[in-house]
Amino acid sequence: MISDKIQEAFNKQLNAELYSSYLYLSMAAYFQSVNLLGLANWMRCQAQEEVLHAMKFYTFILERGGKVTLTEVDGPPVKWDSPLQAFEDAYAHEQKVTALINNLVDLAIQERDHAANAFLQWFVTEQVEEEASADGVVQQLKLAGDQGGGLFMIDRELGQRTFTYPAAGVMAAE
């Protein structure tokens, strides 16, 4: 059985993951509007991944006998001054999500909820990858600048990213 504190905190994180999806979808629309289709593709894939993260929390709450409470998702920004600024914002957002996950781990330990702690370890590892991925693009964009061939090479590379939904039954704790 899930405690009220863990249930409330996990529902907040579910909402935060949905916001992340909205943010990356908004960034995808921005990139599409400036004809950087590869960067738009990368962000669409990222948005799909964030929905998967939200569904992991959704499933965990229900599997522990809790109640999912969906709340309003704030609207994200819709415009950035440059591709670099958008990816810097994505990187900063992933750092914020890492802090949220770390706080959840602390709560799970405090509540002595070993199942929640075990579940969250997947996210701890995932956030290392998420931060590294966003920062990697930031560093490439800084090297290439916002104009010219370097930007288009990065755009072409990021256009190769694909997202595949996991097999059924993989949504819970892994």
Residue 163, in any domain of the structure:
no
Instruction: Summarize pLDDT for 49-61 with one digit per residue, the tens.
Output: 999 999 999 999 9
Measured CA to CA, the distance from residue 1 to residue 149 in angstroms comes to: 55
Residue 77, in any domain of the structure:
yes
pLDDT band, very low/low/confident/very high, at 164 (cuts 50, 70, 90): confident
pTM for this structure? Answer: 0.92
Q: Helical H runs in 34-173?
A: 37-63, 83-110, 114-144, 149-158
Instruction: Summarize pLDDT for 71-90 with one digit per residue, the tens.
Output: 999 999 999 999 999 999 99
Residue 165, in any domain of the structure:
no
Residue 15, in any domain of the structure:
yes
Measured CA to CA, the distance from residue 115 to residue 120 in angstroms comes to: 9
Residue 168, in any domain of the structure:
no
pLDDT band, very low/low/confident/very high, at 173 (cuts 50, 70, 90): very low
How many degrees, rounded to 5, is the angle at CA 126 between CA 158 and CA 134?
35
* Domain count within the chain: 1
CATH of the domain at 100: 1.20.1260.10
User: Which range of residues forms the domain containing residue 76?
Assistant: 4-158
